[in-house]
Structure 1
């Protein structure tokens, strides 16, 4: 049976060119980049080359890139690292209700340490406004974190406007760009962001590697204590092979960014057109205008999300209920709950399709038809069960 992977927002397959780029650092240039001998210098050369390439890709400086283990560590280093290092300046922080758990749980921890957090509510499209940020700002606000693009519904936030607003305030601005990187145009200078988190495994790079852009002149308290790697900001021997892989993944994804956007818009249309042709009742979750093209979140009233995921997997179609961090336990999405607080079924019947490398239009069409068949069957079963219960009650 052919299996179709439509869960690229959770993780993506590593590109063959990325694997090839990594291999020399496992075989020949395997030295510790802190060592001064030949093997160490070769590893250091690879590390510096990657830092230069990645910093250039986002219009940052060489020394503004901190290599981490991925998005969660980058988020934690930004949020907790900055707040704890600058608590004497103020203890008020701002974020949104629909951030990734790598952000939300970091803020929740800071609340136990005496910080006050304002969680901005979103509208039904999953978006906040610049005005909301403006209204929430106080003299003691030191940090604002708003994700670039949401990992569950794909909605893009007004990052440029927020960045421009905060140029007149002392608060620093962080954005989690894990899902947006490679999809949206990102220039940290034009966006006026002070920090930005990125993870390689969302863009066909290896797992366990990412980076935090940290604007020159800003400081954070380190989360790890040990050596002086990453300019004393992140202790531990650098994962040079993974860094090299991330460098290649960044190059590949940015080279094909426009092409990918166009392709994924076609995939989205194929799925939605199929649902309409099959006369399904469904609701698209997220903004129709301000969105990333590779994420499509749809609710099917009357169909249970866990049953849909199981049946689609049996049919060879891999999708998800939203955040990969709740995999294994299908719980209501905090994102959809924030968007539709008075409509719990919107979350209980929602699945996420996310596109990436290796898919074809035929794959997507097959997956759409299998989804339509599954939803029809489950909704009919639910109706029959409901009718049976109603007859018994009478």
Structure 2
């Protein structure tokens, strides 16, 4: 029986349209920096993709820098922008959290619902007159909770600072507009939306802003990121971005996935009444469910489900192999018994009702074997 893949927040399966675009790019020769015909054709493909990705978030293509992924985009910003202070929410991606900790960055608290504490942000900004770079993700990768980025940006700008938004998990799942978020910098990642892995982007609201290059040695990306461009990856990123408009239509795949997620949670809670959905009281991505089964380690659930042919996770993919509780859930004030028992179920463009049914059946069977009270399967 085929594996049920429910780990889209770690990486979505490559969409067929994207695979076709990548194959066409692979078949064509030419270095984008070369001045001959094949090189110019390769350059044209990159710039067309740049326009498609920029259009996804309403940005000027001149302000979009292609990177090897969201992690490099975050690192490029931290390395390239000299600022006296660094603040970030307590639930940011490890690529920001680890680097910020090394630089003495301050963490902004989040509430029990997983939403950033804007009052805490305002207090921290007011406590030090130096301008700060503040990073607030748009949607959390573990809980799916959506953050009030525009409100945070208003506070930051009032104090003369800059707002960075890591929108890697949100793009393709909810509308993302640079102007509406009032963000100065935005991070994107292709493989979260059905594009290829190994390609992302840092978006500058002001294309003229100067950033020190993280990678030196060449003039690619307008001198802001050296190295031969990943042409197939960039073309795939553009193709994935072009699909998002239809995805977000009222009757499009994103709406369908949200209904699937709601059905999954309804069935799961009916089957195992002691389970809980973390972040359920806050606005969330429609594809993400963080389910906790207090008393049963999340890692145990992930392994048992894997043996049953169902792929989920117990935290961000970049932290795989670690057995400690999620720092995101700890920041929400959840005790270890809850935080350590959470799994993340994330759906996407190829998910089906049958996938949901298989997950609920396997998860309910596991809970029953481990001594939890389990109800009879429900129809929905």
Alignment partner of 1:368 is 2:356: no
Tell me by how many angstroms 1:131 deviates. 2.6
TM alignment of 1:367-386, pairs within 5 A:
367-379=359-371
- Asked if the contact 2:57/2:177 (under 8 Å) is kept, the reply is yes
Cα 1:357–1:100 shift into 2, 3 Å: same
Compare CA radii of gyration and give the structure with the larger one: 1
2:197 matched residue in structure 1: 207
Q: Distance in 2 between matches of 1:321 and 1:57?
A: 30
Tell me by how many angstroms 1:380 deviates. 5.1
Moved more, 134-143 or 154-163: 134-143
* SS of residue in 2 equivalent to 1:249: helix
Q: Distance in 1 between matches of 2:20 and 2:258?
A: 30
Cα 1:379–1:77 shift into 2, 3 Å: farther
- Asked if the contact 1:300/1:350 (under 8 Å) is kept, the reply is yes
TM alignment of 1:241-252, pairs within 5 A:
241-252=232-243
- Asked if the contact 2:168/2:189 (under 8 Å) is kept, the reply is yes
Cα 1:20–1:279 shift into 2, 3 Å: closer
Tell me by how many angstroms 1:149 deviates. 0.4
Alignment partner of 1:291 is 2:284: yes
| 2:332 aligns with one of 326, 339, 358 | 339
Q: Which portions of structure 1, spanning 4 or more consecutive aligned residues, are displaced by more than 4 angstroms?
A: none
2:73 matched residue in structure 1: 74
Gaps of 5+ in 1: 112-116, 382-394
Tell me by how many angstroms 1:256 deviates. 0.7
TM-score normalised by structure 1 residue count: 0.90
Cα 1:231–1:279 shift into 2, 3 Å: closer
2:263 matched residue in structure 1: 270
Gaps of 5+ in 2: 374-380
Tell me by how many angstroms 1:287 deviates. 4.4
Q: Distance in 2 between matches of 1:254 and 1:76?
A: 29
| 1:92-140 alpha-carbon deviations (Å, 9 max, x no partner) | 21101111101111212323xxxxx220111111111333222111321
* SS of residue in 1 equivalent to 2:65: strand
* SS of residue in 2 equivalent to 1:197: strand
TM-score normalised by structure 2 residue count: 0.93
* SS of residue in 2 equivalent to 1:379: coil
Moved more, 51-60 or 307-316: 51-60
1:109 matched residue in structure 2: 102
Question: What's the C-alpha RMSD, in Å, of the aligned pairs?
Answer: 1.6
1:223 matched residue in structure 2: 214
- Asked if the contact 2:22/2:236 (under 8 Å) is kept, the reply is yes
- Number of aligned positions between the proteins: 368
- Asked if the contact 1:69/1:210 (under 8 Å) is kept, the reply is yes
Alignment partner of 1:176 is 2:166: yes
